[in-house]
Amino acid sequence: MRAASSRGLGVRLVLAFSLIAMLCALAIAYYVTQARQQVGADYTALVTDVVRAQQDPAAMRLTLDSLIDRPDRIHLEQLNDLLWRIPRRIEGIRLQLRRSELAPASYDELLDELAQVESRLPALEAAIDAAAEEGLDARGGEAILALGLDIEEGLAWAYSELNELLHRASAEQRQLMERLALAVAVLLLLLLVAIAAVMRMLFHLHRQRETMRLQSRTDDLTSLGNRRWLREAAGEAFERRRRHGSPLSLMLLDLDHFKRINDAYGHPIGDAVLVAFARILERQVRRVDRVARMGGEEFAILMPDSDLAGAEALAERILRATRAMPLPGPAAEHRLTVSIGVVEAEEERSFDRLYSRADQLLYRAKADGRDRAVAGHAAPSPAGGGVAVHQDAGVAQHACDGESRR
C-alpha cells in the first residue's frame, strides 16, 4: 500500500515537473524569438532608409559624369530631382536617429555633416537653374561639377559611417539580448532546480508520513496490521454492511501454549513462530479479508462479505495448516495448535461488541481443550459466572491429540 501510494505521488510529481519544464522551455523559446525579432525591428527601418539614401551620392556621381561628358537638359532635370529628394531623406534619417536608443554622441558628427551637405544644396540648385536658362558652358559645368562632387563626398561619407554605426549597434544589441536570453534561461533552470528540490522534499515528506502512518497501524514483527488498523478496517466494513446489508464475520485466534515455546527455545524462536503463523494466515484468507496481530500470540481476521458458514470453513483450513506447520530450528519437534473463536455480526454496530462476542467464544475454545474452533452466539450465562455458547450445526470441535491441556 505504501509503495503504491509513493509511486502514485512520484508519478504525479514527475508529470507536474515535466509540465513545468515544458512551459519553461516554451517561455525561453518564445522570449528568444521575440527578442530577436524586436532587435531586428529596432534597426531594420533605419538601416533600410540609410541603404536607400546611399544610392543618392552614387546617382549624383553618375549624373555629373554624364553631364560633363555630354551636356544635356535631361541630366539637369535628374540633378534637380536628386536635390529635391536628398533633404527629405536626410530629415527622415535625422528623425529616426533621434527616436532610436543610440546615444546622440555616436551620431551627432554625422548629422552635422549631413547638415553641411544640406547647406550646399541651394548653391548647386542655383547653378543648375542658371545652366538651364543660359545654357551649360564650360565654366558653368565646372561649377556644377565642383559643387556636386563636394555634396556627393559628404553624403557618401556620412551614410557609410552611419551604416557602419547601425550595424555595430545592432550587433551589440543582439549580443546583449542573447546574454539576457541566456540569463533568463539560467534563471528558469534555477527555478526548475528549486521546484525539483521542493518536489523531492514533498516526496520524501510524503514517504515519511506514510511510513509513520503505517508504523502506527502495522505490527513490526509480522508486518500484519495491528489493533488500530483492524479497528479502522472494521469501521469501513460496518458502514458497508449498513449500506448494502452484506454479512460480516470476525475470527479471533490464539496460539496454544505459546509460552512454553518461548520458555523452552527462547524469544527469537518464538518470534520466528509468530512470523511463520502470520504467513499461514495470509495464505489462507481471501484478498478482501483483513488479518491483524492483536498482541502477543493473539491474531484476528475480519471477513467482509462472509457469513458464519464461510468463516467456519476458513477456521477449519487454518486449524489444519497450523497443525502441519513446521517449527523453526530446535523447536522442529514441537507441534503448534491454535484456538479460534468465530462470530458473525448481528445487531452490533461497533467493533468492540463484535470483538467481545468473538473473545467469549475463543475463551470457550480454550476451556474445551484448545486446538479447535467455536462458532456461534455467545452471551453471558444466566448465572453470571461464565459463557453460554450456542453453536451452529457443523461447528468443528477437535479433541486433543495426546497433549495435555489446561
- At residue 77's C-alpha, the angle toward residues 72 and 81, to 5°, is 150
> Hey, what's the cell of 197?
528540490
Contacts of 379 (CB under 8 A, 6+ apart): 357, 360, 387, 388
Distance CA 63, CA 80 (A): 11
| Annotation marks residue 164 as catalytic | no
Q: From residue 166, give the alpha-carbon distance in Å to each of 33, 54, 114.
A: 21, 14, 16
Which one, of 273, 286, 291, lies nearest residue 337 by Cα? 273
First to last CA, the chain: 41
> What is the helix (H) or strand (E) element at residue 373, kind and residue range?
strand 373-380
Contact 93, 46 (CB under 8 A): yes
Please give the sequence-ordered ranges of beta strands (E in DSSP) within 261-364, or none if there are none.
Answer: 290-295, 298-304, 338-344
Q: Crossing angle, helix 267-284 and helix 258-265, to 10 degrees?
A: 140
Per annotation, catalytic residue among 133, 232, 282, 297: 297
C-alpha cell at position 159? 551614410
Q: Specify whether the CB–CB gap between 250 and 288 falls below 8 A.
A: no
Taken in order 97, 99, 101, 103, the sign of the CA dihedral is positive
In the numeric block, which cell numbers belong to residue 350? 461497533
Beta strands in 172-297 (DSSP E): 248-255, 290-295
Active-site positions read: 297
